Structure formats: C-alpha cells, structure tokens
Amino acid sequence: MVWLRREDHEDRELRWLCRWATPSRSAGPRRLAEADDPLRTVFQRDRDRILHATAFRRLQHKTQVMAAFEGDHYRSRMTHSLEVAQMARSVARALRCNGDLAEAVALAHDLGHPPFGHVGEEALHDAMADHGGFRHNAQSARTVDLIEDRYGHGHGLNLTFAVRASLLKGRIPDGFPLSADLRPRPPMPLEAHLVDHCDKIAYLSHDLDDGLRAGLFAETEAAELRLWQRARAVCGSDNRQRIVSEVTSLLIHDLLETTDAALAEAPASGESPRVQHGGAMTVMAHELLEFLRARFYRSPRVLAVMNDGAERIRRLFVALVARPERLPESARARIERDGLQRAICDYIAGMTDRFLHRASDGL
C-alpha cells in the first residue's frame, strides 16, 4: 500500500472541491517561508499548530456563559470551539468546501477571547478606548500572528494567509494593531462564513442545553419556542436531550440546504454566494436567541459572575498601568514596540478566569 502524500491530498481537492471553495494550493503565503510538510496540506498543518498552541489550551478555563466553578458539565470556550469545529468541518464537506480550512478557522476563532466572555471583552475595549480598542476576533488574529510565538521567529504560529484573514470576521475597532498584510481587511473565504454560522448554531444549541441544566429556565418555557416544537415533532420524543440535539440538526440541515441552493444558482464569476438560513429558520433562530438573552445571558446569576469578572479586569488593568514591573517578562518585552496599554491588554486577554482571580485578588 502506498501512503498518501501532501500532493495527493491537494490533487484530490482540485478534483472534488466546488468552485467557491479554497484549495490548499490557494492558501496564500506564510509570512515566513518554510518547506511544505510531506504528509499534510497547509491547512491541516495550520489546524495542528492551533491545537498544540498554549492559547488553545487556555480556552479550557475560559467562560462560555456558565463559569467553570459553577459545575463540571457546562461548556467552556474550548468545548465550544471543538463543537464549532465539528459542525464546520461537516458542513464544509457536505458543500464540497475545504473542511480542513473550516476546522482550522473554527478552532482558532476564539483564541483572542478574554476571561469572562463578552463582558470581559467590553471591559478591555473600554480600557483601550484611546489605544485602538479591543475585539476578540481581531485579538485572535493578533494571537496567532504575534503573541503565540512558540517558535521564536516573531511570526507567531506562522499560519497561512487564508486562515489568518478568516479570523477577522466581524467588527474591528479603528486603530487596532493588525499585521500589515491584513490591512485593509481582505475578503473572507467561503469557509470563514460557514464557520461564522456554525458558531451561532453551536452557541444557540449548547446554551439552550446549559441553561436548562443550570435551572435558569424551565423546560416548559423552552417548549413555547417554535424551534423546540419543530424539533420535538421531528424526533418524536419528549426527551430533552433528544430535542436539543434535533434543534442542532434542524439548524445545520437548513443552513446546508439554503446555502447549497445559493451555490447552485450563483453565476460562475463575481462574489461567492451568501451563506444563510432560510427565512422561516432565521425567524425561529432569532426567537431562540432573544429567549436566551432574556432568560440566560442576562439572568442575575450569570450577570453577577460576569460583572465581577469585568470589574476584576478593570482593576487589574489600572494596577498594571501604574506598576508595569508586575507584568511578566514576555509582556514587558513588547512595551517598546506596542505601547504599555496594548502589552497589558494582550496579557489580560490571554488569562484564564481563575488566573484573573488570582492576579486581581487584593487589588
């Protein structure tokens, strides 16, 4: 039996991928040239570098919605990223897009998320208001480009251009320090848009599950949602886990069918078709999101933990500005190039929830 080489995988992509997909041979350059791997395509190599990164391991102890100390079975930033990667890989392959690219982007999309979720993000954005702001998507790109410098060459993980560009999906503050080749923002590969939608599917589904597990709303309340009712009818069961699983399936299959139709009808030239849900599913998904916002994300129990985390970030930021000698050597080394505030921001953004607690205690 002859083993498959990188070139064999690349040739298969060219025969199999749809015309809107991103073949590995179209990945764009790495900032630092390096020899190709004999076994893996460039996107497979990027995925593996992300999985082995310290920043990825820290996601294990970063809050998704429920803090880690609330229980062992709630989603963390890492388990969320793994769920998104599984969905994105499956959806991409079903649409004959590059599953390896989608998986790499999904695994890296939250590397820049600070402790305590979106309230932590807002706290850092406020602290950096006069210094280029903060957003986790832009910080993810900064993480793989600079901060995660495991090889010591100053280019972070040295990922391909396509993966790096895909991490910029979403709003980026004016003045945020991105690598020069990412300004102005390049167009997103189709796979990046698939990841963005799988991200939403993942958090709608698992936050519904976690909210029920935490007892923050009752199953009878969730049963009033049209998407819940549709899922229960399709699976033919009143079992909560079966219904939540079917919610995920309904969202994924609708995304597949709607996007597949758009790809089939798209002209051969011009921009890639829009990745989207159908009209009815969009309405049901928005109804679920609004329910989760009211009953889960803004519940007093969740907000108490989140607001405490945000306040700790604010206090620690001020304390480190006053005493930068408390920064670790790796952060202090970036002050001259990036400025004190950005070096502090990078340091705090990389913290886990529990490390933030330890660092901010007594301030």
Domain end marker among 299, 324, 347: 299
What CATH number corresponds to the domain at position 109? 1.10.3210.10
- The whole-number pLDDT of residue 1 equals 59
Q: In this structure, are 107 and 82 located in the same domain?
A: yes
In total, how many domains does the chain have?
A: 2
Q: What residue numbers bound the domain in which 70 lies?
A: 7-32+41-113+136-182
- How far is Cα 306 from Cα 298, in angstroms, rounded to an integer? 10
Residue 324 CA, chain-centre distance (Å), reads 30
Q: What mean pLDDT is reported for the chain?
A: 95
Phi and psi, residue 251, nearest 5° = -65, -45
Q: In this structure, are 17 and 162 located in the same domain?
A: yes
Percent of the chain topping pLDDT 90: 90
CB of 299 within 8 A of CB of 66?
Answer: no
DSSP 216-259: SS-HHHHTTSHHHHHHHHHHT---HHHHHHHHHHHHHHHHHHHH
- Tens of pLDDT, residue by residue over 92-143, are 999 999 999 999 999 999 999 999 999 999 999 999 999 999 999 999 999 9
269 pLDDT more than 80: no
Coil/strand/helix, residue 61: helix
Q: In this structure, are 141 and 219 located in the same domain?
A: no
Beta bridge pairs of residue 160: 30
- The answer to whether residue 125 is domain-embedded is no
* C-alpha dist (Å) from residue 206 to 101, 186, 212: 23, 31, 10
CA proximity to 64, closest of 188, 164, 214, 197: 214
Q: In this structure, are 56 and 163 located in the same domain?
A: yes
**Tokens found for residue 13:** 């992509």
Domain end marker among 280, 299, 318: 299
Poorest-confidence range of 1-10, 13-22, 51-60, 278-287? Answer: 1-10
Which long-range contacts link 235-239 to residues 24+ away (Cβ below 8 Å)?
A: none
- At 168, the pLDDT band (50, 70, 90 cuts) reads very high
Beta bridge pairs of residue 76: 63
Q: In this structure, are 141 and 206 located in the same domain?
A: no
Listed in sequence order, the residues at least 6 apart from 68 whose beta carbon sits closer than 8 Å to its beta carbon are: 61, 74, 76, 353, 354
- The answer to whether residue 169 is domain-embedded is yes
- How far is Cα 170 from Cα 248, in angstroms, rounded to an integer? 23
Q: In this structure, are 149 and 216 located in the same domain?
A: no
- The whole-number pLDDT of residue 14 equals 95
Coil/strand/helix, residue 307: helix
- How far is Cα 359 from Cα 363, in angstroms, rounded to an integer? 9
Question: Scanning the structure block, which residue is given the tokens 């923050």?
Answer: 216
- The answer to whether residue 259 is domain-embedded is yes
- The answer to whether residue 2 is domain-embedded is no
- The answer to whether residue 325 is domain-embedded is no
CB of 109 within 8 A of CB of 24?
Answer: no
CA-CA-CA-CA torsion sign (245, 250, 253, 256): negative
318 pLDDT more than 80: yes
Q: In this structure, are 100 and 245 located in the same domain?
A: no
- The answer to whether residue 90 is domain-embedded is yes
Q: In this structure, are 165 and 50 located in the same domain?
A: yes
